[in-house]
Structures are given as C-alpha cells and as structure tokens.
Structure 1
Amino acid sequence: MKDLVEDARAAGYNTPLGAGTRPAVLVIDICAAYVTDGSPLRAPVEEAVRAAATMVKSARTSKVPVLFTRVSYRPGSTDGGLFRRKVPTLSVFEEGNPLGEFLDDPAPLPGETVVTKQYPSAFHGTALAANLTAEGIDTLLIVGLTTSGCVRATATDALQHGFRPLVVADACGDRDPRLHEANLYDLNAKYADVLDLDAALRVIEDR
C-alpha cells in the first residue's frame, strides 16, 4: 500500500485538502443490519462502530455538529428505484424492519439532524447540502458504513458540493477488508482526505 501511495503522489494525486473552519461529523447508516447475526448485510464492523461512537462523543463534547443518515423505504413502493433492484437485500431497510434501526451507540440525540435517504449518497435527493450551507459547515468528518458504498458515494458528492470530505478510516467498515482498504486508497488519491481516528479527533479538538 505504501508503494501505491507514493506512486499516486508522484502522479499528482493525494494532495491534502485539510479541514476548513467549521467541521461536522456525519454518521453514515450505522444500524442494526450490519451487526446483527443472520442479517444479509452482516459485516465485521464492530471496531468501526466503536470508533464512530468515539467520534460522536468527542464532537458533542466540543459542540461540533453531529448529523446522522438512515435508509428507509416504504413497503411496496418504488422507493430506491434501480438501486433496490440491483441490491435486493436493501429490503431490510423497509419501514418497520428492526434491522434498519439505529444502534444504542452511536445514535442521534433529540435535535440532531437525521437525513433519510434512498440511495448511496447522503446528498442525493436530500436537503443535506442546503442544511450544511445554512449552518456554515464547510468540512465533513465522515464515519460509518460501508466504505465501498454509502461512505464513498457521500464523500465524493461532498467534494462535488464544495464541502471538504475527511473520511475517518478507523470509523468506517465494510464486509471485506480488501474493499475497505482499496476504497480508502482511491478516496484519498482523488476525492477526500483519509485520516486515522487520532487525527480526526484532533480536528475536532483544535477547531
């Protein structure tokens, strides 16, 4: 991986964006579906969930905004369109299914923003960009699930909407570590800064 990073840097990739002046923590789709045995989306993400909870706790202590996303579909509807046709197991996110519920930690507190989405990116078809702009937020510390899916899509769209995406590697997870590492490498090369947990916590503490 080190050689790949050096090769990318030599080719003009991996230029750091850095944090702006007003960060927020964006928690992507951390829910029961990924940690419940028997769930079709079960993945080895417990450590990532714990790291995400650490990020949320630090943000709240430092008065940094925390936002959550969730996926929700109406049963029998066309919500999610071709995405649901491509990935039928997304049916676990139909309203009323407990697999779509937040965990005990991290979970949104009353008053914190919850973005309900139907596609991978938290920006697609939602008011997230407008809400961030209204709050003066220019940087997103992105944590959650999964690295190759909704984390990647959200980080890429954040860049395209003019927000600085900082993906917290230790606080994201996937069903296969190879997918996790490959997507972090590519995100860091072209679309985001990828930080470890300690570096991400310093962004919060130093704001």
Structure 2
Amino acid sequence: MTQKNDDLTANYVGAFDGRLSFGKRPALLIVDFVMAYLDPASPLYAGVEDALASNERLLAAARAAGIPVFFTNVVYQADGADGGLFYKKIPSLRVFLEGSPLGAFPPSLQPVDGERVISKQFASAFFGTSLAETLSEEGIDTLLITGLSTSGCVRATALDALQSGFAPFVVREACGDRHPAPHEANLFDLQAKYAEVVSEQEACALISANAEL
C-alpha cells in the first residue's frame, strides 16, 4: 500500500516541479478588473482593493517600459443568451449586461489609446475571442496575467494561454478572489501544472528587463 504524504508541497515534488521560461516579447493581461468586484453593493464584491493597487503599479510599470497592455471585460446582451450555460449557472453575471456600470473599469485602471480591450462572455479570455490571433500577430510569447477572480477567469485564462502557446506568468498580489482559500489553492495548482506564479516585485523586474528601447 502506498504511503500517503500529508505535506502538500512535498507531495508534489518530482511530479509537478517544472518551470517555464519568460519569453522575449511579453504583454500585461488584466483580466476583468471591473467595478462589479469593487462595489460593496454588487453580488460579486470581493474586497480586492489590495489587488487593485497592485494592478495600478504593474500597469504603470508596463506603460513606462513600452510593454503591450490588454484588458478584458465581460459583456452580455440584454437577455444574457450569449452567455449560454455559464450565464445560467451563475445568475449574478447579470451585473455584466451591456450598459451596466458594474461592468466598467475603475477610474485608476482605464485603457488608453493603443491598449486593447477584449470583451468576452465566458471565463477564459481566449474562448470565443480573437485574443490568441492578436497576440500571435503582435509576436507576443508571454503573458503577465492579473485580475479577477483567481479561481475563475484568471485560472481559465492562464490554462488557455498555456494551451495556446503563450507562457503564462500569474502575478500573485495582482489577483484576487472572494475568499483566501480558493485564491491560494488555485495559485498553488497553477504553479504546479499550468503557469509560473510570481510576485509583483518579480513581475516588475521582468517588465523592466524587457523594456522596449
């Protein structure tokens, strides 16, 4: 009988300890950082103000370095039919009906000219969008991924980035969830299997090292 190893980290050693290399052409991808997660009156409020501050710093660093920046948001038609079963599974997604103020980006994370906004209806920023084609066209090989929520759209986006050939680097402090348990569990699993999870400090150093001359 195989002995169970109760130490989580030790249990994964030798099976899930590979590393991805940071590429030559990175971009910052800010996933769904919108008012629905910041307004206490919203059913999706997640208390992610610290993650917002981290995103503000990363966005400033990326702009200063000339690193491409992409934003995603979620937008549904009036009846939510374009959200399919995802919309039915999570009724609170109604806050993203077209025109809702809860779907807006916060004042401190507003896209500027030249920064693309990818509107989506499902968890992954890649599913049903032109993101992969756009990244390939621009020669991007690596994504610094931030946003909300860690266990939902960030995880789905990181997984699809990997499967689409873009190295995903998830920035720990710049992601958030409505409870620390799924946040930490998903960061652990992403690091083990699908991405590199890096600190904000590490992400800023990678941005600086890849600044466009």
Q: TM-score, normalised by structure 1?
A: 0.96
In 2, Cα distance between equivalents of 1:124 and 1:96: 22
Give the Å deviation of 1:197: 0.6
CA contact (8 A) 1:26 1:142 kept: yes
Task: List per-residue Cα deviations over 1:142-187 (Å, max 9, x = no partner).
Answer: 0000000000000000000000000000100000001100000000
Paired residues for 1:9-48 under 5 Å: 9-10=13-14, 12-48=15-51
Write the distance in 2 (CA, Å) between the matches of 1:205 and 1:59.
8
2:78 is matched with 75
Tell me the amino acid that sits aligned with residue 58 of structure 1. Answer: A
- SS of 1:92's equivalent in the other structure is helix
> How many residues in Structure 1 have an aligned counterpart in Structure 2?
204
Contact 1:5 1:185 in 2 (8 A): no
- CA distance in 2 between counterparts of 1:39 and 1:192 reads 30
Unaligned runs of 5+ in 1: none
CA shift in 2, pair 1:77/1:147, >3 Å: closer
Is 1:143 aligned to residue 146 of structure 2? yes
- Aligned residue for 2:13, secondary structure, equals helix
Task: Tell me what 1:202 maps to.
Answer: 205
After superposition, residues 71-110 of structure 1 pair within 5 angstroms as: 71-110=74-113
Where does residue 8 of structure 1 map in the other structure? 12
Larger Rg: 2
**2: distance between equivalents of 1:129 and 1:74?**
23
1:163 paired with 2:178, answer: no
Let me know the Cα RMSD of the aligned residues.
0.9
- Per the TM alignment, residue 77 of structure 1 is displaced from its structure 2 partner at its CA by 4.4
1:119, CA displacement in angstroms?
0.1
| Distance in 2, Cα, partners of 1:85 & 1:77 | 9
> Given that residues 122 and 154 in structure 1 are in contact (C-alpha distance below 8 angstroms), is that contact kept between their aligned partners in structure 2?
yes
1:119/1:15 CA distance change after superposition, 3 Å: same
Structure 2 distance, partners of 1:45, 1:82, is: 27
Identity %: 51
- What is the one-letter code of the residue matched to 1:52? N
Tell me the distance in 2 between the aligned counterparts of 1:34 and 1:41.
5
Alignment-derived partner of residue 3 in structure 2? none
Question: Which whole-Å CA distance do the structure 2 matches of 1:32 and 1:172 have between them?
Answer: 15
Letter in 2 for 1:128: L
Is structure 2 residue 188 aligned with structure 1 residue 191? no
Report the TM-score, using the length of structure 2 for normalisation. 0.94
SS in 1 for 2:102: helix
